Amino acid sequence: MAKKITSKAEDYSEWYNDLVKEAGLAEHSGVKGCMVIKPYGFAIWDNMKTELDKKFKQTGHVNAYFPLFVPKSLFEAEEKNAEGFAKECAVVTHYRLKNDPNQKGKLIVDPDAKLEEELVVRPTSEAVIWNTYKNWIQSYRDLPLLINQWANVVRWEMRTRLFLRTAEFLWQEGHTAHATKEEALQETKQMLDVYADFAENFLALPVIKGIKTENERFAGAEDTYCIEAMMQDTKALQAGTSHFLGQNFAKAFDVKYAGKDGKEEYVWATSWGVSTRLIGALIMAHSDDDGLILPPKVAPLQVAIVPIYKGDEQLEQIRAAIEPLVKELLVKNISVKFDDRDTQRPGWKFAEYELQGVPVRVAIGPRDLENKTVELARRDTKEKNIVSLNGLAAQIESLLEEIQLNIYNRALNFRKENTHTADSWDEFKDILENKGGFILAHWDGTTETELKIKEQTKATIRCIPFDGDKSEGLCVFSGKPSKQRVIFAKAY
Amino acid sequence: MAKKITSKAEDYSEWYNDLVKEAGLAEHSGVKGCMVIKPYGFAIWDNMKTELDKKFKQTGHVNAYFPLFVPKSLFEAEEKNAEGFAKECAVVTHYRLKNDPNQKGKLIVDPDAKLEEELVVRPTSEAVIWNTYKNWIQSYRDLPLLINQWANVVRWEMRTRLFLRTAEFLWQEGHTAHATKEEALQETKQMLDVYADFAENFLALPVIKGIKTENERFAGAEDTYCIEAMMQDTKALQAGTSHFLGQNFAKAFDVKYAGKDGKEEYVWATSWGVSTRLIGALIMAHSDDDGLILPPKVAPLQVAIVPIYKGDEQLEQIRAAIEPLVKELLVKNISVKFDDRDTQRPGWKFAEYELQGVPVRVAIGPRDLENKTVELARRDTKEKNIVSLNGLAAQIESLLEEIQLNIYNRALNFRKENTHTADSWDEFKDILENKGGFILAHWDGTTETELKIKEQTKATIRCIPFDGDKSEGLCVFSGKPSKQRVIFAKAY
């Protein structure tokens, strides 16, 4: 029997929670605010990591590892960054527990083991990394420094949501140092392109590239570039950010380099990151009421083969018939599982693979054996066909490509259908209230207007898009001049 | 010019520190007790991870991720485990900083943001994982549960040593649950074999498999199996452990399963781990006064090609001559770098690759161009030969295999030469004082004797070896009966 998934139309939020739970992706732990990423969820993250890591290396980056803890004095060095994260950080104050003298078997914090200086559990690593870079950079020969780290970070959250908002999450953070502003800006842009390419071509997630307003900028950045995606409830989700940090951290940590002319200059910096939040985006962008729909490139399992049989002899006949297909798929680097478990019925298996978003399902029974056919089902459209076993591996290979593309196009069409332009305040409110989605509207460029719009509608400026219409106009709220339309939406 | 490395004979400990620093593997950070793993060190770790992860998956394990924090009440649930780690754990007590009212730009811990229950930064994850397994295991159908996690852990250390002993380190921890004692014991043994195979065939590090004495057992385990390696100062290093946890954690967290007969039973458990400590072992087991000696399988770069030339034209001729070799090596999955940097001289490059332990170096100059030859140098023996470019890729491939084997055999011979048997207390002390190394001696099986020997000589029982001589005898210290010889050594 299919597990119980609340329908998307009925309650989008519960639908999401049910999917995460029933597909075995993650769960809340006994540790407040922290999640357990279950094996199937982690396999998706592992695939994302492998692909991103490859792209980072192709663009000249190397991995390293920096400490989990940031001493308070380092944490506060870059003032804006510190201010941005101070309100949500876990603080280590002691380094020992001892037996509770009043309760046998219980422990208490040992007051004699108080740290001289408190340690912040990293919410992001600029401080600890720039304190290190200080010793690594002396001359222009040491630049650029192009380093990435895969790590866990902690940002204290009271209201959590699996993958989307948890106290601890997994991410990668790139931290680069450059001799010139131009080079740092180019890196910021390059990494945004890497993220956009990854989102669109690997996760089948269409994204809009743009720049954040001052108000939405990363604490300590001069500029934050981002990719924004639309979920199926038409809300926006920030899927990745790339920050141009200017010389803020170089100045805070006194990181200078001697140029070819011997002159000392502060170093220019970038940082960029994506997190396990992307798993949330993946689920919310593509899935349906029967379960996950995973793009083949990120799916831990691409093809499930389910035998329909009575007795061992028939099972062995099916196994023999299917074996060449399995081998051919593996040669093509397509992951495949022949599910011969006798503890579950075929119908249960079908539902389970649907729930898990396995892109292609093959079923084969006694009649298929006679006819040398199988039933080939695709998860994205639920289409089923009886096809010949002959040439099936090649057919599945191209079907997987087709599914990848179809999932992307479906999400792109959905975004197009739910993107509107508003030219007056009434129109803006009407769209938000009755249609939702992305609103392209003129904005006067002030934080004041931005905050008033947010206050009245909960919509925020997702980004000032790089591409598209650049014509000038009048702010939808204040009527003041505007240089281009920006994207408003309610967001995760 | 070669960077300054203290000679091994002069000061082993400084030699190690110099290697770690000069080869760019790691450094102490501004965060007390925590290290920065630099890109070259991290690349070695990444190679270890990839190989181990493959082995874990081949033996049926999957990855997941569990929270960094352990609430104090969970931490103390398994009493022995809690007692073992209580004295060295970082404790989070607050979740917010606020502006210091007395010092502009400074932050203080917000007293209003005190946690109701303190969180321990995981020193190991049995507690948080078994608290989770409790919900995952109901029936025999849910078993075995075979999960691994790659994570950072924190064990507070006052005296640190890069890779060998740091407050934060990276590791993997496997945590499995089984229906029967036999199955759990088999898993404990299997994972020890996986570690031993990895150490010997990937890291070229001969190890002795055995069981720890009660005194050296993991806190909360019924039995700890281990692999022990010998470093070049003849001291022992524990390279990996696999614990049979019995039903201790199942009882502490009330994890039961219903058998086929419906009867409820406590689950049986194992846990097993290796850490970034292995990088320390790798360095200390194989390297020399000129730098690292890395076994080819774990080396981030296997072949460095250095051109010796005057002017661009000659460089291009060399490049053209060497290009087919580079391609052939890449096809064979051999990592190779053609180092055409014009900022450094060939002699500098030779020293640098030696320092970094690159297994094979190829040098090619104008005379080689004429003769269609190269100079082929191996790092392990420093042997150099002029060889023909013709068939060179195949020659390098087999040379890499030979180097891998030679490094292993060298370490194995070293261990044999430094393993002694002692049949009297005087002999025992004499060997320890004048020769060092591993001592095979009879022991009466009591913790009392073990501790007295440690007190008097600093030697500990590294393990009760699985293989080798099992004949009975008399304890070297107490004269009481002994069932077999055990291995004593001073250890890291």
Residue B129: CATH number of its domain: 3.30.930.10
Considering only CB atoms, which chain B residues are within 8 Å of A63? 39, 42-43, 46
Query: Which of B130, B137, B168, B138 has the alpha carbon at shortest distance from B152?
Result: B168
A173, A273 in Cβ contact below 8 A? yes
Asked whether the bond before A307 is cis by omega within 30 degrees of 0, the reply is no
Strand pairing report for B62-63 and B145-154: parallel
Tell me if B109 and A118 make a contact (CB, 8 A cut-off): yes
Find the range with the poorest average confidence among A142-146, A406-410, B155-159, B223-227.
Answer: B155-159
C-alpha to C-alpha distance for B193 and B468, rounded to whole angstroms? 16
Residue A259: strand, helix, or coil: coil
Q: What is the dihedral of CA A73, A78, A80, A81, to 10 degrees?
A: -80
| Domain end position, chosen among B377, B405, B433 | B405
Taking every pair of Cα atoms in chain B, the longest distance, rounded to a whole number of angstroms, is 82
Burial class (CB in 10 A: 0-12, 13-18, 19+), A412: middle
**What is the pairing mode between strands B360-364 and B303-307?**
parallel
Domain stop point among B254, B286, B318: B286
Does residue B368 sit within a domain?
A: yes
Give the pair of three-digit tokens for residue A321. Answer: 């018939």
Q: How far is A90 from chain B (nearest CA, A)?
A: 4
Both structure tokens of A86: 């101070």
Q: Evaluate whether residue B77 is within a structural domain.
A: no
Of A64, A70, A79, the CB nearest to B37: A64
Q: Which of B276, B264, B293 is nearest to B379 (CA)?
A: B293
Structural domain contains residue A144:
yes
Q: Using alpha carbons, select from A204, A226, A203 the residue that is nearest to residue A216.
A: A226
Separation in Å, CA of A301 to nearest CA in chain B:
14
Inter-chain touch B92–A65, beta carbons under 8 Å: no
Where is B457: in which H helix or E strand?
helix B447-457
In a domain, A398, yes or no: yes
- Residues A195 and A270 occupy one common structural domain: yes
Q: Which amino acid is at B32?
A: K
Contact criterion met (CB < 8 Å) for A69 and B90: yes
User: How many Cβ atoms from other residues are within 10 Å of residue A360's Cβ?
Assistant: 26
The enclosing domain of A429 has a CATH number of: 3.30.110.30
Strand partners, A26: A37
Cα–Cα distance measured from residue B337 to residue B359, given in angstroms and rounded to the nearest whole number: 12
Nearest neighbour of A91 by CB, restricted to B27, B34, B109: B109
> Is the separation of the CB atoms in A488 and A459 below 8 Å?
yes
* B415 DSSP 8-state letter: H
Q: Is the pLDDT of residue A253 over 80?
A: yes
Q: Which of A384, A379, A366 is nearest to A303 (CA)?
A: A379
Residues of chain B contacting residue A174, judged by C-beta atoms under 8 Å apart: none
Contact B67 A34 (CB under 8 A): yes
pLDDT at A344: 92
Same domain, B257 and B137: yes
Last residue of a domain, one of A233, A261, A286: A286
Residues B329 and B206 in one domain: no
Contact in structure between B196 and B204 (CB atoms under 8 Å) = no
For residue A306, CA distances in Å to A127, A245, A315 come to 52, 53, 10
Contact A92 B35 (CB under 8 A): no
B69 contacts A31? CB cut-off 8 A: yes
CB A154 within 8 A of CB A121: yes
The answer to whether residue A1 scores a pLDDT higher than 50 is no
Tell me the average pLDDT across A61-71: 98
Whether B141 sits inside 8 A of A343 (CB atoms) is: yes
CB-based contact B487:B228 (threshold 8 Å):
yes
Residue A124: name the closest of A266, A267, A227, A275 by CA: A275
Considering only CB atoms, B152 lies closest to which of A45, A132, A152, namely A152
Same domain? B310 vs B349: yes
Mean pLDDT along residues A131-138: 97
Nearest to B309 by CA among B353, B342, B358, B350: B342
Contacts of A106 in chain B (CB under 8 A): 76
Structure token pair of residue A481: 């001049």
Domain shared by A234 and A381, yes or no: no
Best residue in A27, A31, A168 for a mutation probing chain B (most B CBs within 10 Å):
A31
Q: Give the per-residue pLDDT at A392.
A: 98
Q: In chain B, what residues touch A92 (CB-CB under 8 Å)? A: 90-93, 121
Residues paired with residue B289 on neighbouring β-strands, in sequence order: none
pLDDT of amino acid B343: 87
Residue A413 forms part of a structural domain:
no
Q: Which chain A residues are within 8 Å of B41, Cβ to Cβ?
A: 64
Residues in chain B within 8 Å Cβ distance of A356: none
Q: Which of A221, A157, A151, A225 is nearest to A186 (CA)?
A: A225
Task: Please indicate, yes or no, whether residues A32 and A170 belong to a single structural domain of this protein.
Answer: yes
Would B9 be classed as within a structural domain? no
492 residues of chain B, pLDDT tens digit each: 457 899 999 999 999 999 999 999 999 998 889 999 999 999 999 999 999 999 999 999 999 999 999 999 999 999 999 999 999 999 999 999 999 999 998 999 999 999 999 999 999 999 999 999 999 999 999 999 999 999 999 999 878 899 999 999 999 999 999 999 999 999 999 999 999 999 999 999 999 999 999 999 999 999 999 999 999 999 999 999 999 999 999 999 999 999 999 999 999 999 999 999 999 999 999 999 999 999 999 999 999 999 999 999 999 999 999 999 999 999 999 999 999 999 899 999 999 999 999 999 999 999 999 999 999 999 999 999 999 999 999 999 999 999 999 999 999 999 999 999 999 999 999 999 999 999 999 999 999 999 999 999 999 999 999 998 899 999 999 999 999 999 999 999
Is the preceding omega at residue A144 within 30 degrees of 0, hence cis? yes
Supply the CATH number for residue B364's domain: 3.40.50.800
Pairing between β-strand A91-94 and β-strand A97-99 as defined by DSSP bridges: unpaired
Q: Is residue A293 part of a domain?
A: no
Q: Please tell me whether residues B144 and B245 are part of one structural domain.
A: yes
Give the number of domains in chain B. 3
Q: How far is A440 from chain B (nearest CA, A)?
A: 37
Give residue A2's pLDDT.
54
Query: Considering the entire predicted model, what is its pTM?
Result: 0.96
Q: pLDDT digits over A288-313, tens only?
A: 999 999 999 999 999 999 999 999 99
ipTM for the predicted complex comes to: 0.96
Domain that holds residue A471: 419-489
Give the 3-state secondary structure of residue B308: coil
Q: In Å, how far are A203, A207, A252, A272, A302 from A298, measured between CA atoms?
A: 7, 17, 40, 22, 9
> By the 8 A CB rule, do B298 and B355 touch?
no
Contacts of A131 in chain B (CB under 8 A): 29-30
Closest-CA residue to A270 (of A166, A367, A180, A332): A180
CA distance A18 to chain B (A): 17
Kindly state the tokens that stand for A46.
Answer: 């592992």
Residue B182 and residue B53 share a domain:
yes
A236 and A277 share one domain: yes
Give the single-character DSSP code of B440. E
Reduce the DSSP state of residue B46 to 3 states and report it. helix
Reply yes or no: is the peptide bond before residue B144 cis, omega within 30 of 0.
yes
Q: Do residues B156 and B282 share a domain?
A: yes
Distances (CA, A) of A156 to A280, B152, B427: 19, 19, 60
Q: Are B349 and B307 in contact (CB under 8 A)?
A: no
Residue A365 lies in a domain: yes
Looking at residue B130, its pLDDT comes to 97
Report how far residue A269's alpha carbon sits from residue A256's, in angstroms, rounded to the nearest whole number: 12
DSSP classification of residue A95: S
DSSP string covering A279-302, please? HHHHHHHH-BTTB----TTT-S--
CA dist., res. B356 & res. B91, Å (int)? 38
CB pairs under 8 A between A and B: 198
Nearest to A400 by CA among A298, A319, A318, A308: A298
Whether residue A81 is predicted with pLDDT greater than 70 in this model: the reply is yes
Its sign, for the CA torsion B466, B469, B473, B475, is: negative
* Same domain, residue pair B234 and B375: no
pLDDT at B2: 53
Percentage of chain A modeled with pLDDT above 90: 96
Both A319 and A205 in one domain: the answer is no
